[in-house]
Amino acid sequence: MIRINENYTKLKASYLFSDIAKRVNAFVAAHPAKPVIRLGIGDVTEPLPSVCLEAFHAGVEEMGHRATFKGYGPEQGYAFLREAIAQHDYAARGCKIDADEIFVSDGSKCDCGNIQEIFGTDIRLAIPDPVYPVYVDTNVMAGRTGANTNGRYEGVTYLESTPANGYVPAIPSVATDLIYLCFPNNPTGAVATRAQLAAWVAYAKANRAIILFDSAYEAYIRDPQIPHSIYEISGARDVAIEFRSYSKTAGFTGTRCAYTVVPKSLQAWDAAGNAHSVHALWNRRHTTKFNGASYPVQKAAAAIYTDAGKQQVRAMTDFYLGNAKLIREAMGRLNLPCVGGDNAPYIWINTGRDSWEFFDQMLNTAQVVCTPGAGFGRCGEGHVRISAFNSRDNVVAALERIARALK
């Protein structure tokens, strides 16, 4: 008799965005004449930068000719992209990351979901609350947690982000082995200072732990004091893996390209206390289960690192940050405290009310979709996330509707 992986039965009934989609679809079916503006799911709306589109087209064209056709590429990514990443995303910021420490993939969701596979099933986890749900759910699937009671899985140290700590969690008082951090944060939009990241690196070192640093939104950082990479912190090469994605940087949510940095100096231990190279383990996993991102997509991603590409990416992220500024100003006029939006495309609003109730009010009276904070974890209760990913007209219209609805 075929049996299931019973860890899946511990997962909460459905994924946050499918719950939202159900409510939105029901509303749309009942009110077809009332157009809904979606500021919920973090999906981009602006088309690809023209440099990426041209490189993408050129890459596709190459595939159509015998002389330039490409079959399977290197699983870890083409050298032209890995070298551009090492130079522009790391060397330019003073970080020593070699091209062969970079693993190109078709998305950061897969990378931050899959990475846990190479670690023991009995390790201690530290996971933020509120959080991008992938970190928790993939560990539940792998059997690293107990049951979920009152929105918390047994066996996880939750790193609470609250108004009291400015939504940057404190270092836990207990030892943990695998620590998930995300800055600029999804969902709160909060950023971590150099000193805060240095404290995490020191904690990881002291505990022989590994930090999984998700910097999917680093392209939105405008404050020059805020690190873009964990490797800007001295010693981080020995304790951290970093995830980056082109999804929000350059509108690649539908094009799919990302990368993960696994330094060769990173070690983890077996039960007998022998050290192993984490780079070698991830390389083994990646080459066994992944066959490379497509060539034209990698060409499109590499175009981001040209001068024109950098300008176009900056213009695109500036545009979304312009939306974010309007959202923050509007929330200020409504006396709703919020964070985020200045170095991140998300605004995290402290509504002081049940977050699904606030979501329903926004949907039913303003026809605006936001994301209820409770869906990101217990500490998200009382908050909603509004995303800056939409056209300027839609953001302006949504803010007018919200102001009317809350009057």
* C-beta of 44 vs 198, nearer to ligand PLP: 44
Cβ atoms of 260 and 381 closer than 8 Å: no
Give the number of residues written for the chain: 407
Only one of the segments 28-36, 72-80, 190-198, 245-253 lies at the binding site for ligand PLP (rule: CB under 6 A); that segment is 245-253
Q: Is 182 in the site for ligand PLP (CB under 6 A)?
A: yes
* C-beta of 176 vs 245, nearer to ligand PLP: 245
Report the distance separating Cα 90 and Cα 83, nearest Å.
10
Only one of the segments 101-109, 221-229, 384-392, 395-403 lies at the binding site for ligand PLP (rule: CB under 6 A); that segment is 101-109
Q: Which residues contact 134 (CB under 8 A, 6 or more apart)?
A: 109, 112, 113
Q: Is 298 in the site for ligand PLP (CB under 6 A)?
A: no
Only one of the segments 28-36, 105-113, 157-165, 226-234 lies at the binding site for ligand PLP (rule: CB under 6 A); that segment is 105-113
* C-beta of 186 vs 367, nearer to ligand PLP: 186
Q: Is 104 in the site for ligand PLP (CB under 6 A)?
A: no
Q: Is 181 in the site for ligand PLP (CB under 6 A)?
A: no
CB of 369 to ligand PLP, least distance (A): 16
Cβ atoms of 8 and 365 closer than 8 Å: no
Report the distance separating Cα 78 and Cα 101, nearest Å.
13
Cβ atoms of 241 and 270 closer than 8 Å: no
Q: Is 109 in the site for ligand PLP (CB under 6 A)?
A: yes
Cβ atoms of 108 and 214 closer than 8 Å: yes
Q: Strands 125-129 and 338-340: what pairing?
A: unpaired
Task: Tell me if residue 17 falls in helix, strand or coil.
Answer: helix
Q: Which residues contact 277 (CB under 8 A, 6 or more apart)?
A: 264, 266, 267
Q: Which of 216, 233, 368, 369 binds ligand PLP (CB under 6 A)?
A: 216
Query: Token pair for residue 41?
Result: 């799911």
Q: Is 228 in the site for ligand PLP (CB under 6 A)?
A: no
Q: Which of 177, 214, 218, 242 binds ligand PLP (CB under 6 A)?
A: 214
Q: Is 362 in the site for ligand PLP (CB under 6 A)?
A: no
Q: Which residues contact 141 (CB under 8 A, 6 or more apart)?
A: 5, 7, 8, 11
Q: Is 218 in the site for ligand PLP (CB under 6 A)?
A: no
Q: Is 116 in the site for ligand PLP (CB under 6 A)?
A: no
Q: Contact positions toward ligand PLP, by CB under 6 A?
A: 42, 107-109, 112, 132, 182, 186, 214, 216, 245, 247, 253, 258
